[in-house]
Amino acid sequence: MHGTPSPSSPTSPPEGRTLVIGGGPAGLTAGYLLAKRDADVTVFEAADQVGGIAMTVVRDGYRFDLGGHRFFTKVREVEELWYEIMGDEFLRRPRMSRIFWNKKFLDYPLNGMDVIKKLGPVELFRSGMSYLWAVAKKPFRRKPETSLEEWVSNRFGKRLYEHFFKTYTEKVWGRPASEMTADWAAQRIKGLSFMTAAKDAFFPSKNGDIKTLITEFDYPRYGPGQMWEKMTDAITARGGVIEMEAPIERMKLEGGRITEVMVNGETITDFGNVISSLPLRNLLRMTEGAPAEVVAAAEALRYRDFLTVSLIIDGEDLFPDNWIYIHEPGVIVGRIQNFRSWSPWMVPDETKACVGMEYFCFEGDDLWTSKDEDLVKLATKELEEIGLSKPGQVVKGYVVRVPKAYPDYVDGYAENVQIIKNWIAGIENFQQVGRNGLHRYNNSDHSMLTSMRAVDNLYGDDHDLWEVNAEDEYLEEGETKQSPYPYRAGATPSGEVGQHDEVAVKTSDGVGGR
CATH code where residue 253 lies: 3.50.50.60
Question: 392 lies in a domain?
Answer: no
Q: Are residues 195 and 244 in the same domain?
A: no
User: Which of 49-53, 172-176, 316-320 is predicted least confidently?
Assistant: 172-176
Average pLDDT for 103-121: 79
Tens-digit pLDDT profile for residues 451-467? 999 999 999 999 999 98
Q: What is the dihedral of CA 284, 446, 327, 105, to 10 degrees?
A: -160
Instruction: Give the residue numbers spanning the domain of 22.
Output: 18-54+74-87+222-300+410-474
Q: What is the DSSP letter of 163?
A: I
For the chain, how many structural domains are there in total?
2
Return d(Cα 489, Cα 513) in angstroms, integer: 18
Q: Are residues 188 and 142 in the same domain?
A: yes
**DSSP-derived 3-state class of residue 419:** helix
pLDDT at 157: 86
User: Which of 145-149, 338-342, 419-423, 487-491 is predicted least confidently?
Assistant: 487-491
Q: Are residues 116 and 36 in the same domain?
A: no
Q: Are residues 198 and 116 in the same domain?
A: yes
**DSSP-derived 3-state class of residue 277:** coil
Tally: H helices and E strands in the chain: 17, 20
Question: 215 lies in a domain?
Answer: no
**pTM score > 0.85 for this model?**
no
Whether 491 contacts 31, CB under 8 Å = no
Question: What is 127-145 written as a DSSP string?
Answer: HHHHHHHHHHHGGG--SPP
The residue with greater pLDDT, 337 or 104, is: 337
- pLDDT score of 511 more than 70: no
- pLDDT score of 77 more than 90: yes
Q: Are residues 34 and 172 in the same domain?
A: no
- pLDDT score of 204 more than 80: no
Question: 186 lies in a domain?
Answer: yes
Return d(Cα 366, Cα 65) in angstroms, integer: 24
Q: Is 25 exposed, middle or buried (0-12, 13-18, 19+ CB in 10 A)?
A: buried
Question: 314 lies in a domain?
Answer: no
Question: 98 lies in a domain?
Answer: no
Q: Are residues 157 and 240 in the same domain?
A: no
Q: Are residues 136 and 79 in the same domain?
A: no
Beta bridge partners of 306: 360, 402
Return d(Cα 434, Cα 51) in angstroms, integer: 12
Whether 255 contacts 109, CB under 8 Å = no
pLDDT at 483: 40
Return d(Cα 167, Cα 222) in angstroms, integer: 33
End-to-end alpha carbon distance in the chain: 26
Q: What is the mean pLDDT of the chain?
A: 84
Burial 167-180 (b: 16+ CB within 10 A, else e): bbbbbbbeeebeeb
Per the rule left: phi > 0, alpha: psi between -120 and 50, beta: everything else, 489 is beta
- pLDDT score of 186 more than 80: no
**DSSP-derived 3-state class of residue 205:** coil
Tens-digit pLDDT profile for residues 386-435? 999 999 999 999 999 999 999 998 888 999 999 999 999 999 999 999 99
pLDDT at 301: 96
Strands 18-21 and 273-276: parallel
Q: Are residues 125 and 190 in the same domain?
A: yes
Q: Are residues 226 and 284 in the same domain?
A: yes
Average pLDDT for 362-366: 96
Per-residue confidence band for 208, with pLDDT thresholds at 50, 70 and 90: very low
Return d(Cα 237, Cα 243) in angstroms, integer: 14
Other CB atoms closer than 10 Å to residue 369's CB: what's the count? 10
Helix or strand holding residue 287 (H, E): strand 287-288
Angle between helices 76-86 and 25-36 (to 10 degrees): 80
Q: Are residues 132 and 192 in the same domain?
A: yes
Respond yes or no on whether the N-terminal peptide bond of residue 109 is cis (omega within 30° of 0).
yes
Question: 256 lies in a domain?
Answer: yes
Q: Are residues 296 and 414 in the same domain?
A: yes
Whether 226 contacts 85, CB under 8 Å = no
Q: Are residues 122 and 154 in the same domain?
A: yes
Give Cβ neighbours of residue 148 (< 8 Å, ≥ 6 apart): 165, 169, 177, 178, 180, 181, 182, 184, 185
Question: 50 lies in a domain?
Answer: yes
Per-residue confidence band for 311, with pLDDT thresholds at 50, 70 and 90: very high
Return d(Cα 164, Cα 85) in angstroms, integer: 38
Give CA angle at 98 (95, 103), nearest 5°.
Answer: 165
pLDDT at 235: 98
Per-residue confidence band for 510, with pLDDT thresholds at 50, 70 and 90: very low
Return d(Cα 30, Cα 454) in angstroms, integer: 8
Beta bridge partners of 407: 303
Helix or strand holding residue 57 (H, E): strand 56-59
Question: 174 lies in a domain?
Answer: yes
